[in-house]
């Protein structure tokens, strides 16, 4: 299943820029799928569902949680995560993903990965990191349904880089999600601001990042999370307990 439409209009992106991507594991193989590619089959299915209904779009009844990656699932680094060897799961993050999965939540990663356009790693290298991450999650009883990442640097001004909501909108379009019923979990001010910009039902800030800086930046913009959790597992308990 591939997405349709685009996130970053050409006039908003610098030359040689790459569009945002979704990574998904289909039939045991990883495929990198450009968001700009049009999915005729999905369009046809959505069109047939809408027959006989005026201005109505059937939304998924699944429960969706958006997770940031660095600082939420794995330990963040000022030098960026450039290989699987540098990737370190935070305590309880695998347990949290398992808990959410077992309670019927579909997990989608929403992450800025400017490490690509900074020329520090290739898309294939990021693909490998995410493959290994998802394998580890499955081995511990959890599942990550999809990963949406932005390869752009802040200077490029794209629409998919958080705190802009492009990646969440892209996920919402692909999986037919009612964003108002979703939860976003992040460790930074831009994650919470992205959730607000997208219209997520809840935004949870975890303390496993730079919590002091995050709260300072949010206060400057008069934005507050719905809940501050100790870590991803604490956030998972909060979400499941309030169903």
Q: How many CB atoms lie within 10 A of CB 85?
A: 8
Which pLDDT belongs to residue 22? 62
Tokens 């299943």 correspond to 1
Is residue 234 classed as helix, strand or coil in its secondary structure? helix
- At residue 12, the pLDDT reads 37
Q: Catalytic residue positions?
A: 68, 70
Of 124, 170, 117, 178, the closest CA to residue 147 belongs to 170
Cα–Cα distance measured from residue 81 to residue 114, given in angstroms and rounded to the nearest whole number: 11
Going by the DSSP 8-state scheme, the letter that residue 180 receives in this structure is G
Within 10 angstroms of residue 116's Cβ, the number of other Cβ atoms is: 20
- For the chain, 243 residues long, give each residue's pLDDT as a single digit of tens: 333 333 444 333 333 334 455 655 333 333 333 333 334 444 444 444 444 443 445 677 789 999 999 999 999 999 999 999 999 999 999 999 999 999 999 999 999 999 999 999 999 999 999 999 999 999 999 999 999 999 999 999 999 999 999 999 999 999 999 999 999 999 999 999 999 999 999 999 999 999 999 999 999 999 999 999 999 999 999 999 976
Q: Are 60 and 105 in contact (CB under 8 A)?
A: no
Tokens 């939860």 belong to 183
Q: List strand residue ranges (DSSP E) for 199-242, in order.
A: 202-206, 227-229
Give strand pairing partners of 23: 32, 147
Please give the C-alpha separations between residue 148 and each of 27, 126, 127, 160, 188, in angstroms, as whole numbers: 19, 12, 11, 9, 17
Domains and CATH numbers, the chain: 17-33+63-241 (3.40.50.1000)
Backbone angles phi, psi at 165, to 5 degrees: -90, 15
Instruction: Give this prediction's pTM.
Output: 0.79
Q: For residue 47, give the nearest of 6, 9, 4, 108 by alpha carbon.
A: 4
pLDDT score for 125:
98
CA distance linking residue 236 with residue 84, whole number of Å: 25
Helix (H) or strand (E) holding 23: strand 21-26
Q: According to the model, what pLDDT value does residue 20 have?
A: 57
- pLDDT score for 242: 74
């Amino acid at each position: 299943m591939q997405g349709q439409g685009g996130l970053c209009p050409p006039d908003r992106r610098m030359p040689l820029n790459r569009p945002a991507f979704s990574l998904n594991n289909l039939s045991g193989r990883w495929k990198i799928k450009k968001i700009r590619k049009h999915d005729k089959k999905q369009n046809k299915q959505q069109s047939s569902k809408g027959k006989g209904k005026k201005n109505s779009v059937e939304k998924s009844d699944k429960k969706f949680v958006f997770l940031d990656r660095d600082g939420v699932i794995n330990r963040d680094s000022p030098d960026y995560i450039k290989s699987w060897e540098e990737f370190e799961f935070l305590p309880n993050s695998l347990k949290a993903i398992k808990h959410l999965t077992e309670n019927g939540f579909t997990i989608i990663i929403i992450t800025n990965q400017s490490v690509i356009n900074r020329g520090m790693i290739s898309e294939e290298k990021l693909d490998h990191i995410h493959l290994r991450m998802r394998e580890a999650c499955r081995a511990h009883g959890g599942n990550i349904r999809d990963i949406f990442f932005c390869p752009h640097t802040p200077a490029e001004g794209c629409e998919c880089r958080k705190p802009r909501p492009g990646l969440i909108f892209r996920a919402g379009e692909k999986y037919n999600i009612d964003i108002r019923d979703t939860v976003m979990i992040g460790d930074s001010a831009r994650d919470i601001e992205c959730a607000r910009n997208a219209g997520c039902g809840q935004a949870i800030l975890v303390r496993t990042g730079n919590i002091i800086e995050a709260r300072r930046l949010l206060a400057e913009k008069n934005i507050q999370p719905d809940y501050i959790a100790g870590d991803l597992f604490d956030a998972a308990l909060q979400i499941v307990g309030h169903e």
